[in-house]
Structure 1
């Protein structure tokens, strides 16, 4: 259960609006609920007091008009909902899922979610529920964004990696605006530091003149959808101008001859013309990259939700590998962590696991989001028939919302675990109310920092209302209702724990060795045995105990340097430190060459055959279509702006600017259409249409439009503010390798509304 928060005036926590999860402190009002003031937490070892403007309005998440649910809900035959008790809800949900399992097999039960930004502990318990009901397939928002990059990393390095932006000489951002989307600690401060330092440079590849582009030395304002041509041209310049890190490549990489043979024939000038970036600017940027002692490159949704996204990720990595920027200070690095986010086996294209109906590639264990509706709306015997959605809103966030709603309605049973009555919850058969992120112990597994990596177990800031449960408790009850675990399983472990945690560890390992089927139920075993003994009501943190030991085993020197000792004692000390600190702790402190140890002697593979073949064929394939005819514009559906983040803040009042989510277009396009700021236009795509206000700006290229993310949500009162981007996107528009969506490349037209 969730513990009462401390009575300290300022209570440590973290922002939940992006992957950085900057440390914050919150002063709670006399009513015990309102967030009177929020500030950066100077004791947080990663953010060190930094926070952006968005975190300062998190009261709109905790106490906003969001349609908060405080009792389990069951859908009546007439479509309305009725409140029921937890015992009834758990028993009925378990019975409905078991019915599907018996009739059609557990493989037809699909799990979606397990995360939201900063809400990952529930996801650590979800595998137990999946195991209890025989479920095999799952997905999450990561399959909308990152799986292409995960697969490329696996093929080239065998491990995920990140960019050391804070220490680099040259920072390169590909389809990323870290001034708004962050992606590394203290993002805005670091960007300003780079911009002010004459010895450092910044390269931005983006069709929009973003806030980050304003600070850059080189803004390559690429034509939407042509990033692969631009990045291929940049890699080709390295080869053709003999700018390669030849000695480094000889020591660390294989496949160089195959790659250079392809890149030597690339028509650089032609590809620059296709991407509509001046060739002399491209060559100058590449020469600056090649001359730097260190280059840090980050790609993001601008290319990961775009045409050729997986191929773009490959070309982007060639850029920093051909210049020797792996394992060097300020380059790319392989990080430690408590969870294996981003890891994949790197099966060659066409091999590896596949989804049951669409036969789509499953990368990092995730089914591509764009095929989920296709996996349901079919008469295939293995179609998904039941769905458990946790801390996610696929009815709003996935491409082709109308078809996704149709698919959700077609399920035999839909169960939603969430805080508020989301668009997905409105379609559910059962809605199970969860505690908010500030009412329970919670954490994120987005721990990518280097050389000092940080993990933050957040403590409750306010008490939860009666009637809600934290996700670990919900999963434990579902597992027990399924008959997968019970007191007979817990009792021997509790007896061992009474004799000390060493005895407990030995019994726990013996139990899993004797009964391997319990492995995926381990989180609930720990929650019910170790959990109640943890201080401050931190039972949910029990799932972190084996992860802390694993981190100590995989990174013994880094854990030792972080101050936790050696051997088995190091894992225990690390776990205890994580549970005790409300401000986050350093889990590993690494030397620079740790990247190479983590790669285990593996050499970088430059020539990924299926990707290199696509690069070689670029010159012969049809060019990306110019916006024309019925679709004279390209729409980016879901731009990050000053008052947008993700959709967990459902109260539109949190936005101080742009309350309706204006459609941004170039001033030239606005003049041609004879529309001015605030005028309403009809925006149409092949999927749907909406009416939205216009914001002309000189930051946009002619022919390019953008809508912000986070709009189109139904408020508690039933009103909708702004346009929902995925009413305009199509699920069939997806990457050929990873199945990720083309949210940032949607052909569109615009017509003034009288």
Structure 2
């Protein structure tokens, strides 16, 4: 008989709740979970295809080990023995920096990908870390680190309560959101307009999101920072600023006018290709709105001035008094965050604490640019990367100059790939460790709950038992940590036990912790959970801001900030609105119920894993609330509105006022049924609009002799591609668009569906030299290209 099971979707940042239909051990259907406290039944085509992805016949079912130059199926023991024999010996011979680690985007979509890579890096002792962040979001981390002292303190727009949303470089109707976890983003934007609010979209393409907007501005790609600077200049010059309560927590306001003096609407208008009056009018509308939020994402981040643009987004939110304010942009408080503490100066955020070996790129958030990986492998000398651990990453497609990286990976002494597919990157590995299908893994969103537009917490146990011969994804990672650290053969639970001991030792020694002075061993014995990862989750929930603190006396360090962040209680006083099946409050519609605090004072004790398991549809923790100044970790203990590294970047931005592209520039685009290079092997998600075509405006097509459906050669810094042309007026003249994540045409992969319609790898047009200097993020949008028609 078919049965149903609940599962949080791991395929994009929206984290929608799914109800899976299962026959035997096969997922035969997926629909939205109507009782989910966050998504309320919303589902997109990716979630609906969960079963097809789960059962993909191209998924690897057992480890692969390279023997005599060929990857062959092996046992788990053989795979880990190969790792244990190679990596520790290489580290002893050539040092810790001879090993690099690459973390791909899917890591933040799994429990294992969040819990174990920090332990892996510590075990290896390497600083050679490369992640997908320098291909999308690192500018936002850097700007938040400089403004607030914490690179993870990223405010999100209060979508359900705002009156005015200015959205730059984002297309959430296709992407479902980025650094803003919001199930049914399209529905929330429609609700914004239905309640009389205003949506303004800035994008060189007339996207589906732009079509929904009250106003659409189509500037030249890459000019976002100039536009934002002109908006800030206008607010300052016309005395339209109102910091409100932020004034007493902000430094640098007085210096901002001088720093932005050059960026008048008239000065930026030619570079943006927008009328100065339209820029000035937008600034006035932003200031006049009762509440407003400015939100910029990938299109404003992966450009030459990505960090200044990300900084200016929050400068505008501060200047209008909309930062940390309901209806503006607020800081979420996830259930696994640290409990709020007394406001106090912090250590601040450092950039460039060390530099890459070859080109001297400064680290950002302890990471080097992904674009620098190939040179670190190729270039001989002390610290040359000779072994690589790649976890859920496919940089041959996702990073610039994949051909060069492809060749570099082939020359490694040893490579480990944790990946369910033999793809363009993992085909170079000496050992491939395949995680099980997602239905067989537990799920908790550590990262995305920290960017969610409503505080909530949900957990999905495995929906289907592990198949014969499979290994749990968390165990795969734990055994990898042991193998590279010379402890192969130790039980994997030791890794989780060590993590728990380390956390409890820190908390019980910390005078600001509710566990201060307690016995760590006693507290460890109180943890619940069947597995090591569940025990670690239980610990994080119990010491988090909503946790039961092991039943210790109530009273949080943090004073007024903690009290305003949430209604605190330990043991008897704390409860939450939850969805738990028949008879439970499923969580009222997020729009109509947006002002409810989500707390039911009579619902029982504080949060822990046992309580979460009792509510399989999740627990609603209420709307976002103001959190300043408690979360600030700058050295001053205040918002540092004009940090020195940003001030040093402004002369470079001023020089851009004179920039005028001589020809065409390229931007990427999103597809609703795709996510980077992940999903091109699922038949249900291919075809239709999900195609790798070059969008060209009719005027440009006519001028260049390009025909709709014909072929063109596109050339840039890194080389040329042949691509099919799609002539459309949805893109502005002077701009062309090619989606990313394609290029599945290399031999040695096992991606039968993707390789049948491989598409072209847009990142091959880049040689990796175009970077946003503060964040090391590759410039993937707004770079110049040339087009030539092909017969």
TM-score bracket, normalised by the shorter chain, equals 0.7 to 0.9
1:509-658 map, 5 Å: 509=504, 534-535=529-530, 538-552=531-545, 561=567, 565=571, 573-586=607-620, 588-589=621-622, 592-599=625-632, 602-615=637-650, 618-620=653-655, 623-626=658-661, 628=662, 632-636=663-667, 638-651=668-681, 653=683, 654-658=685-689
State the Cα deviation string for residues 386-441 of structure 1 (Å, max 9, x = none): 11111111222111111111221222111001111111111111111111222211
Query: SS at the partner of 1:708?
Result: coil
Q: Distance in 1 between matches of 2:631 and 2:489?
A: 39
State the Cα deviation string for residues 621-655 of structure 1 (Å, max 9, x = none): 673341x3xxx32112x411233223222315222
Seen in structure 2, the aligned counterparts of structure 1 residues 512 and 71 have a Cα distance that, compared at 3 Å, is farther
Of the three residues 208, 224, 241, the one matched with 2:238 is 241
Contact 2:564 2:626 (C-alpha < 8 Å) held by counterparts: no
Seen in structure 2, the aligned counterparts of structure 1 residues 206 and 449 have a Cα distance that, compared at 3 Å, is same
Q: Give the C-alpha shift of residue 530 in structure 1.
A: 8.2
Match of 2:388 in 1: 387
1:156-555 map, 5 Å: 156-159=147-150, 160=153, 161-183=155-177, 184-185=181-182, 186-198=184-196, 200-245=197-242, 247-248=244-245, 250-337=247-334, 347=349, 351-444=352-445, 445-448=447-450, 452-481=454-483, 482-484=485-487, 509=504, 534-535=529-530, 538-552=531-545
Query: SS at the partner of 2:781?
Result: coil
Query: SS at the partner of 1:713?
Result: coil
Query: SS at the partner of 1:751?
Result: strand
Seen in structure 2, the aligned counterparts of structure 1 residues 692 and 258 have a Cα distance that, compared at 3 Å, is same
Of the three residues 668, 676, 680, the one matched with 2:707 is 676
Q: Distance in 1 between matches of 2:335 and 2:394?
A: 26
Match of 1:110 in 2: 100
Of the three residues 33, 37, 44, the one matched with 2:36 is 44
Q: Give the C-alpha shift of residue 510 in structure 1.
A: 5.8
State the Cα deviation string for residues 266-312 of structure 1 (Å, max 9, x = none): 33212112100122221121111001121112211101111111111
Of the three residues 52, 59, 62, the one matched with 1:71 is 62
Q: Distance in 1 between matches of 2:527 and 2:626?
A: 40
Q: Distance in 2 between matches of 1:492 and 1:249?
A: 43
Q: Distance in 1 between matches of 2:301 and 2:380?
A: 32
Q: Distance in 1 between matches of 2:266 and 2:688?
A: 42
Q: Distance in 2 between matches of 1:456 and 1:25?
A: 14
Match of 2:548 in 1: none
Q: Distance in 1 between matches of 2:655 and 2:502?
A: 62
Contact 2:331 2:625 (C-alpha < 8 Å) held by counterparts: no
Seen in structure 2, the aligned counterparts of structure 1 residues 491 and 176 have a Cα distance that, compared at 3 Å, is closer
Q: Distance in 1 between matches of 2:62 and 2:50?
A: 23
Seen in structure 2, the aligned counterparts of structure 1 residues 335 and 479 have a Cα distance that, compared at 3 Å, is same
Match of 1:12 in 2: 6
Contact 1:450 1:590 (C-alpha < 8 Å) held by counterparts: no
Of the three residues 29, 32, 40, the one matched with 2:25 is 32
Q: Give the number of aligned pairs.
A: 712
State the Cα deviation string for residues 607-634 of structure 1 (Å, max 9, x = none): 22332343356445673341x3xxx321
Q: Give the C-alpha shift of residue 470 in structure 1.
A: 2.6
Q: Distance in 1 between matches of 2:557 and 2:534?
A: 20
Q: Distance in 2 between matches of 1:598 and 1:266?
A: 31
Contact 1:164 1:450 (C-alpha < 8 Å) held by counterparts: no
Q: Distance in 2 between matches of 1:513 and 1:264?
A: 51
Match of 1:82 in 2: 72
TM-score by length of 1: 0.86
Contact 1:305 1:743 (C-alpha < 8 Å) held by counterparts: yes
State the Cα deviation string for residues 568-612 of structure 1 (Å, max 9, x = none): 9999842323455443334x4467333443338933221223323
Q: Distance in 1 between matches of 2:723 and 2:568?
A: 52
Match of 1:518 in 2: none
Q: Distance in 1 between matches of 2:653 and 2:494?
A: 63
Q: Distance in 2 between matches of 1:530 and 1:694?
A: 63
Which protein has the bigger helix share? 1
Of the three residues 38, 46, 50, the one matched with 1:54 is 46
Q: Give the C-alpha shift of residue 685 in structure 1.
A: 2.1
Q: Distance in 1 between matches of 2:26 and 2:568?
A: 36
Query: SS at the partner of 2:263?
Result: coil
Q: Distance in 2 between matches of 1:709 and 1:451?
A: 27
Contact 1:306 1:743 (C-alpha < 8 Å) held by counterparts: yes
Contact 1:679 1:693 (C-alpha < 8 Å) held by counterparts: yes
Contact 2:528 2:534 (C-alpha < 8 Å) held by counterparts: no
TM-score by length of 2: 0.82
Of the three residues 135, 139, 142, the one matched with 2:133 is 142
Seen in structure 2, the aligned counterparts of structure 1 residues 509 and 274 have a Cα distance that, compared at 3 Å, is closer
Contact 1:681 1:752 (C-alpha < 8 Å) held by counterparts: yes
Q: Distance in 2 between matches of 1:366 and 1:340?
A: 22
CA root-mean-square deviation: 3.5
Q: Distance in 1 between matches of 2:564 and 2:20?
A: 32
Seen in structure 2, the aligned counterparts of structure 1 residues 563 and 639 have a Cα distance that, compared at 3 Å, is farther
Give the gaps of 5 or more residues in structure 2: 339-345, 510-519, 546-555, 576-603
Q: Distance in 2 between matches of 1:27 and 1:402?
A: 42
